[in-house]
Every structure is written in structure tokens, then in C-alpha cells.
Amino acid sequence: MKIVFSKYYTARTPGHVFRSDKFEAALELLLKEGAVLKKDILSPAAPSKADLLLAHSPVWADKNLRFKFSAEDGARAELRITRGVARAHLMNVGGTILAARLALESGIGINCGGGAHHAFGDHGEGFCLLNDIAVAVKKLFKERLIKRALVIDLDAHQGNGTASIFRGDRRVFTFSMHGAELYPVKKEKSSLDIELRPGTGDAAYLAALGRELPRALDGFRPDFAVYVAGADVYRRDLLGGLGLTMGGIRRRDALVFGACRARRVPAALVLSGGYAKKFSETVRIHANTIKEALRFA
């Protein structure tokens, strides 16, 4: 089973709540535990301008490719956009494209990164510059590899950028379970939004997911899915606050992978957010999610 990762995913962001090195740390943990072998790691290619234009405006694509950001661009994305940060976001797009291809080949594709669901077509938001999810899905459509895609967004925050990019596209069903009171203040309209209270906890969360995800899968009947597996649903997350335990998150992941496999829907995994006070806990959650993916591969 191959895992997609690039050394360029890690960019220096001193003092920022989003630590991009969490993806590299999760991979290192998996290697240490023997769950992953070095020979199984695939490095993605950078996306082309044509790839970015599938989901982004020409102006925004050029800004990302030429590193021509304004101060306003950085403020809106809540990032200090260095060259390293811009390259990390570009490479994460390439990683999700590759993971999507692997999913079609083997049933599950894993990007040890990705999930920039707050990026809109013409700007970045919420620590996200480029929407790797939307680019990958639209590339598969362009190449006529899929006809219907389901985005299963279980980050604690609504995937507003993804919902915006796919608004009106009947080929895509955007499923989002998120905190009603969390960022973004202004939510976009997904195909299905399930809003949760602070401190929801394992039992209520898993009951809602176990009820609504099978309905979405059976009603929409996708031939491909992207699973946005945010770690920020964790009870000790600084920005999430949905009250899930590590065990509850593993059951969440198993439910998603199991539901997709039971219906023979290939699924690409992206890791998205995670901001636990203890960095090691975010790393462990991401590693556990990948372990669950491997278990269903």
C-alpha cells in the first residue's frame, strides 16, 4: 500500500497554530512503528497551471505559481506566505491528485497531508491557499475517470471553500459535519451540512455519522470519494472542540472506510486540520487515521 508524501509539505511557520510539520511527524511515527515502509512512500509531482485552473481563477493560480501574493492575500488566509509555505500548498495539491489516482487503482489512496478545504476559487482562507480536494476531483472528471464524487468532510470546521467551488455541480455531493459555532462564521451551503454543538462527544457524533453517511452514499451513489479526516474534532483541540476521544476518532475513520468499501467506492484520504495543545496528540491522531485506512486497503 503506497502513501503519498513530499518533504516540501513541511514549511517553517514559527508561532503559527497550524504546524505543517505534523504530516511529516505522523509519517515518521508510522515508519517507527513499522506500519509503513520507506519503499512505500511516493513523492508527488507539482500540479501544472492547467491543473490549478480546474478549480481556481487565472489570477489566483498565477499568484500561487509566481509567488505574487499581496499583504491582503496573506491576511485573508491568516498566513505569512513565504516561498516555502506557497510551495507546500502547491505540493499538497499534487499529493491529493496522486492519492486520488491510487484510490482508483486499489480502492484507497492516502495523502499524508492535504485537505485545504477553506481555499476558494479566487482566494485563500483559514490557513488554506489552494483547494487540493477540488483540483483532484475536477482532474478526474476532466480525464473521464469518474462520473460522480462525494466529498466526506469530517474536519471540525465546515469546508466552505469546497462547498463554494462545487456549488451547482450536480456531479459532486459535498457532505460536511462540523461545529455550528466554529470557524467560518459565514458558512457556505454544502449538499448536506450537519451542524454540531460544542462538546458533542463520541456517542452523538458517531450516531449522526452512522445515520447520515450511508444515506448520502446510497442516495447519491458516487463512484469516488474524498475523505477529509480532520484531527481537530479531538476533545483537546485548541480550535475544534467537538469532544471526541482518540478512540472515537478511530471509530469515525473505520466507519467512513468501511462504508465506502462496502459499496465499492474508492476513497482518497486527506488529513486536513489538527491543533491539539500537545503536538504529539495531533500527530498520533493523523497516524491512527492512516492506520485505519491501511486496515481497509
Q: pLDDT grade, residue 213 (50/70/90)?
A: very high
Residue 243: give the domain boundaries.
Answer: 3-296
The one catalytic residue in 118, 123, 178, 286 is 118
pLDDT tens for residues 241-261?
A: 899 999 999 999 999 999 999
Residue 250 has, within 13 A of its CA and on its CB side, a CA count of 11
- Among 53, 270, 263, CA closest to 155: 270
Residue 158, domain CATH: 3.40.800.20
Indicate whether 297 pLDDT > 90: no
User: What is the torsional sign of CA 73, 78, 81, 84?
Assistant: negative
- What is the rounded average pLDDT of the residues 213-227? 98
CB distance 147 to 138 below 8 Å = no
Decide: 232 and 177 in contact? Cβ < 8 Å. no
Number of domains within the chain: 1
CA dist., res. 225 & res. 256, Å (int) = 10
What is this structure's pTM? Answer: 0.98
All three cell numbers of 272: 486536513
Cβ-based neighbours of 226, under 8 Å, separated by 6 or more: 96, 100, 133, 136, 137, 149, 150, 151, 152, 267, 268, 270
Write the pLDDT tens digit of every residue in 115-146: 999 999 999 999 999 999 999 999 999 999 99
118 catalytic, yes or no?
yes
